[in-house]
Structure 1
């Protein structure tokens, strides 16, 4: 196997660790090679966002191959501690064997990751390369004051609205969050609240549309209509799609929906056209929808007022400097035994 020890640029602690620890030690071949859920470059980027330092106590939710934990162990040094928690005993056993074989000061324990590991806390850093339905209170409780939690987070009540949250616990036990336009795999299915209606295409269950509308028939009509929509290239590159999507989730325009159709993942708005020419109300006419995907605007009818309204929203976003996700306001809400991150305009 060709070594990739020197594929990371930089002179920071993460780059030093990546050069010191060949990733193939943890990714195989040993008969039990583990396919990483996120790329090495993503791991490096988010370890950098943790601002790891010597002597810190770190908890990682999910063991995976053990590679990320080994990097963390190298950075925090002999005075620090890195513990991973995973419900897969085979993964934790494999990782522990590899840690011992290569002299990496990391530990893997078997347990429920959603409960964290209170015996080793409080932690200066908690790293969760996955997205839970909501952030367990246990993770926040086990975070030290001044500590940082990096985790996937559901940032809206609408399905498909996940990102990566960077949460800092203040000295007064407050929580300050910044959201980034990255994604981690789902740890558990998100809970869709009762006020959100989700419909699935009867001919293909892969396709769905979700809206806060309380009218099931309207949401059903939106899905049918957007699937038949006309495509046109939109003036934003694929890399900016998530930034605009998150801005739209924060703005919450009338008729907002998320969807997955033949046209791809999308976010858009829907309405109903007047049923009579010149009638002011837009409540009982045929549906109008306009949706943005990473590559297109999808609209039906192709020249509707709803399409024009979506293009106006794109123009507003551009006028604000095409704000990136991390430039949006984010709030952390305490909800019973969990926390939620929401974007605000």
Structure 2
């Protein structure tokens, strides 16, 4: 049995909408259950961050269950409009029927969300329930001046570097961005630029390591030793991993990489020990690598100079106040007919 008891706290517009719009009807009382991409609490949190107001025009890319669109329609009221778009016709047909049956003033259409929906542009808010390979210029073009675009994004050329971007289009058509820790589902296959080298394990483990280096053998060595490395818990607090990861991506220390091993998905640095031919060169000595995951610090060998350098980086992050992701500088860069969000040191 689905409980209908209200658990919504607060008296703001989003809380009022959540009380007025039954969550259960969008989850599957019609016999076609929809698995939410994000939790209800996350949906409410994200909608509060949008600062929705009456009479706003909203475009949502990715219909899902239709619940978020119904909430937004309640907040913007009869003077605004909410249009939600999805390439899956079954989702748009289902949502459209629910909107009509329950009097929720949202419009569901089938289409390619990457192209936005120019017919009702400009929009005061564009909300994307996914992470595109790059931000299409259609979204920026269809955003009103003073409007806000919220979308998943890649914040680095390195794979696995995902976050949520909050982009404001100024009256002068400039773009200001704040990046938040979080991750939405990918929209299509990720694109790895030619400047990034990815080495994969030769077995079927799915392990890989990606860096900006052009030294394939060294990167392969890093992956090998990380898989066999010693893992120990690191003393970070809940959620701190993503903040530290994004700080490292902004700082770009020497030898930076992202990787997936049996120890999990992480970020780290690698180097080679000084060769026997001179301490100044670090090109032909044994590999050293250290990586942090949400739960562990993985290294081989331990107590190496690279290990010490990584601990120093962690100390630097602490000394700067353990900066959260949204406290880091970020920029929006145009690249042909799309945009990229990048963290800036």
The TM-score normalised by the length of structure 2 is: 0.98
Within the alignment, does 1:266 sit opposite 2:269 as a pair?
no
Partner of 1:332: 332
Are 1:322 and 2:322 matched, yes or no?
yes
What corresponds to 1:250 in structure 2? 250
* Structure 1 position 65 matched with structure 2 position 65: yes
In structure 1, what is the equivalent of residue 341 of structure 2?
341
Q: How does 1:1-345 map to 2 (within 5 A)?
A: 1-4=1-4, 6-276=6-276, 279-345=279-345
Aligned partners of 1:105 and 1:17: how far apart in 2? 12
Equivalents in 2 of 1:311, 1:238: separation in Å? 19
Any gaps of 5 or more consecutive residues in structure 1?
Answer: none
SS at match of 1:332: strand
Residue correspondences, number: 345
Contact 1:165 1:177 in 2 (8 A): yes
Structure 2: 5+ residue stretches without partners = none
Alpha-carbon distance in structure 2 between the residues aligned to 1:319 and 1:212: 27
Moved more, 226-235 or 179-188: 226-235
C-alpha distance in structure 2 between counterparts of 1:201 and 1:233, whole Å: 24
Q: CA deviation at 1:5?
A: 5.3
Distance 1:304 1:177 in 2: 38
1:29 CA drift (Å): 2.3
- Secondary structure of the residue aligned to 1:10 is coil
Q: CA deviation at 1:35?
A: 0.7
Q: CA deviation at 1:175?
A: 0.3
Counterparts of 2:120 and 2:205, CA distance in 1? 44
Q: Give 1:274 shift.
A: 1.6
Whether the aligned pair in 2 keeps the contact of 1:274 and 1:283 (CA below 8 Å) is yes
Give the Cα separation in 2 of the matches to 1:290 and 1:343: 22
Contact 1:5 1:21 in 2 (8 A): no
Deviation at 1:218, TM superposition (A): 1.1
Q: 1:108-141: per-residue Cα shift (whole Å, max 9, x none)?
A: 1111010000001100000001100010100000
* CA distance in 2 between partners of 1:4 and 1:12 (Å): 20
Structure-2 separation of matches of 1:180 and 1:95: 29
Q: 1:29 to 1:294 in 2, by over 3 A?
A: same
SS of the counterpart of 2:276?
coil
Q: 1:158 to 1:173 in 2, by over 3 A?
A: same
Quote the offset at 1:32 in angstroms: 1.4
**Relative to structure 1, is the Cα distance of residues 127 and 4 closer, same or farther in structure 2, using a 3 angstrom cutoff?**
farther
Deviation string, structure 1 residues 309-342 (Cα, Å, up to 9, x no partner): 0000000000000000000001000111101000
CA distance in 2, matches of 1:310, 1:51: 39
Q: CA deviation at 1:232?
A: 2.1
Q: Deviations over 1:18-74 (max 9, x none)?
A: 111111111112221111111111111111111000000000001111000000000
